[in-house]
C-alpha cells in the first residue's frame, strides 16, 4: 500500500529533507497588518526576522485552512492509497482541527489518518522522519498510523528562550506564565509535556542555558535521532552540534524556526529535540 505523509510548516523540516522524504508540507500563515504570507513560501526566514525586530507591526499567525488541506489530500490521493497527516499539538494550534475538516471536504470515507503529534518544531519534524522510515511497500494505513502514535512519547524537547515577550504577545503563554516574573537577566527554559508548553526552570545566563541543552543531549545518549533548531543564532546551533557530535555518530539535524513559530519564540530561541529508542 502506497502511503503519503503530510505535515504543516511548524515542523520546521529543512527543505532538502522534505524533498528527500517526499513529504508534503502545508504552510501556515503569518500576518503583518493587512499583508498575509505563507510560511516560507511568500516570506523567507531572513525577511521575517528583520520585520519582527524592526517593523512597526507585530505579526499574528493562522493555521492552514481546511481547503488548503483538502486540496493537498485530493492531489496526493491521485497517486496514493492512503495519507498520514501529522501536525502540531492541538493544544497550541487549531491546525489538527483544520486538517480534520479538510479531510471531510476532500470527500467521504477517504483513507486519511490525522494525527495530533503533541509536539512542535523539530519534535514534530522527528516524528515525521520516523513515520517516513516506517513506510515500506507493504505497510497498511492503520498499522502505520498506530506506529506513529506509539512514537510520540519517545520524543523529548528542551528549549532556551531569550525572552518570553513574543510568546506572551501571541497568547501562547499557557503554563509558562509562571516564568514571566523572573529577572530580565535570567533566561527561561521550556519543554513540552502532553502537548503543552511547560516551564523547565531558568538559566542564569545564555551560556548557562546552552550548557543545560548540552546536558539534556548527553542524557539522551543512544537516542535514534536528534535535531537542534534556532531562530536567529546559527552559530550557537552549529557550536552545540559540534560539542555533542563525538557522542552521536548519527546525523544531527540542524533547522531553523520558520516565520510562524518565530512569531511566538522571537529572536534567540534555541531548541533541542531527541527521539529515544522505544
From first to last of its 278 residues, the chain has per-residue pLDDT tens of 699 999 999 999 999 999 999 999 999 999 999 999 999 999 999 999 999 999 999 999 999 999 999 999 999 999 889 999 999 999 999 999 999 999 999 999 999 999 999 999 999 999 999 999 988 767 789 999 999 999 999 999 999 999 888 877 755 555 555 455 554 567 889 999 999 999 898 898 999 999 999 999 999 988 999 999 999 999 999 999 999 999 887 789 999 999 999 999 999 999 999 999 98
| Same domain assignment for residues 44 and 108 | yes
- pTM here is 0.94
- Kindly state whether residues 168 and 133 are assigned to the same domain: no
Instruction: Please check whether residues 197 and 69 belong to one and the same domain.
Output: no
Same domain, 102 and 217: no
Do residues 151 and 278 make contact, with C-beta atoms less than 8 angstroms apart?
yes
Among the candidates 120, 152, 184, a domain finishes at: 152
Residues 241-265 pLDDT 10s: 999 999 887 789 999 999 999 999 9
* Whether residues 18 and 144 fall in one domain: yes
Q: Which domain holds residue 205?
A: 154-275
Q: Which 8-state DSSP code applies to residue 63?
A: P
Residues 142 and 161 in one domain: no
**Claim to verify: residue 126 and residue 158 sit in the same structural domain:** no
- What DSSP state is assigned to residue 165? H
**195 and 260 co-located in one domain:** yes
Are residues 148 and 28 part of one domain? yes
What is the CATH number for 118?
A: 3.40.50.10170
What's the burial of 262, exposed, middle or buried (CB within 10 Å: 0-12/13-18/19+)? buried
Q: What is the Cα–Cα distance from 141 to 51, expressed in whole angstroms?
A: 42
Question: Into how many domains does the chain fold?
Answer: 2
Among 152, 174, 196, identify where a domain stops.
152
Is the domain of 7 the same as that of 61? yes
Cβ-proximal residues to 106 (8 Å cutoff; 6+ apart), any chain: 69, 70, 73, 74, 77, 112
For residue 11, the SS3 value is: helix
pLDDT tens sequence across 165-205: 887 775 555 555 545 555 456 788 999 999 999 989 889 89
Q: CA of 74: how far to CAs of 85, 90, 111, 197, in Å?
A: 13, 23, 11, 33
At which of 126, 152, 178 does a domain end? 152
Distance in angstroms (rounded) separating the CA atoms of residues 237 and 223: 19
Same domain, 184 and 47: no
Q: Which of 218, 224, 225, 227 is nearest to 256 (CA)?
A: 227
Do 10 and 119 form a contact (C-beta atoms < 8 A)? no
CATH number of residue 175's parent domain: 3.30.1180.10
Examine the domain organization and report whether 259 and 170 are in the same domain.
yes
DSSP-derived letter for residue 109 is T
Amino acid at each position: 500500500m502506497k502511503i503519503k505523509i503530510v505535515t504543516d510548516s511548524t515542523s520546521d523540516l529543512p527543505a532538502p529533507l522534505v524533498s528527500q522524504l517526499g513529504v508534503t508540507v502545508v504552510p501556515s500563515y503569518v500576518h503583518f497588518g493587512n499583508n498575509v504570507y505563507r510560511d516560507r513560501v511568500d516570506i523567507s526566514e531572513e525577511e521575517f526576522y528583520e520585520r519582527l525586530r524592526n517593523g512597526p507591526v507585530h505579526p499574528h499567525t493562522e493555521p492552514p485552512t481546511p481547503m488548503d488541506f483538502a486540496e493537498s489530500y485530493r492531489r496526493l490521493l491521485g497517486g496514493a492509497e492512503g495519507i498520514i497527516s501529522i501536525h502540531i499539538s492541538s493544544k497550541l494550534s487549531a491546525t489538527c482541527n483544520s486538517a480534520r475538516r479538510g479531510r471531510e471536504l476532500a470527500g467521504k470515507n477517504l483513507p486519511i489518518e490525522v494525527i495530533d503529534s503533541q509536539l512542535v518544531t523539530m519534535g514534530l519534524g522527528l516524528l515525521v522522519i520516523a513515520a517516513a522510515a516506517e513506510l515500506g511497500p507493504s505497510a497498511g494505513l492503520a498499522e502505520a498510523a498506530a506506529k506513529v502514535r506509539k512514537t510520540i512519547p519517545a520524543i523529548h524537547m528542551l528549549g532556551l528562550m531569550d525572552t518570553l515577550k513574543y510568546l506572551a504577545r501571541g497568547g501562547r503563554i499557557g503554563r509558562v506564565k509562571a516564568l514571566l516574573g523572573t529577572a530580565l537577566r535570567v533566561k527561561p527554559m521550556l519543554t513540552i509535556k502532553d502537548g503543552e508548553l511547560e516551564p523547565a526552570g531558568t538559566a542564569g545566563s545564555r551560556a548557562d542555558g546552552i550548557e543545560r541543552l548540552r546536558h539534556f543531549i548527553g542524557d539522551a545518549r543512544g537516542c535514534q535521532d536528534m535535531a537542534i533548531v534556532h531562530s536567529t543564532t546559527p552559530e550557537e546551533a552549529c557550536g552545540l552540534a559540534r560539542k555533542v557530535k563525538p557522542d552521536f555518530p548519527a546525523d544531527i539535524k540542524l533547522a531553523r524556526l520558520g516565520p510562524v513559530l518565530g512569531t511566538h519564540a522571537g529572536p534567540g530561541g534555541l531548541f533541542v529535540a531527541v527521539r529515544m529508542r522505544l
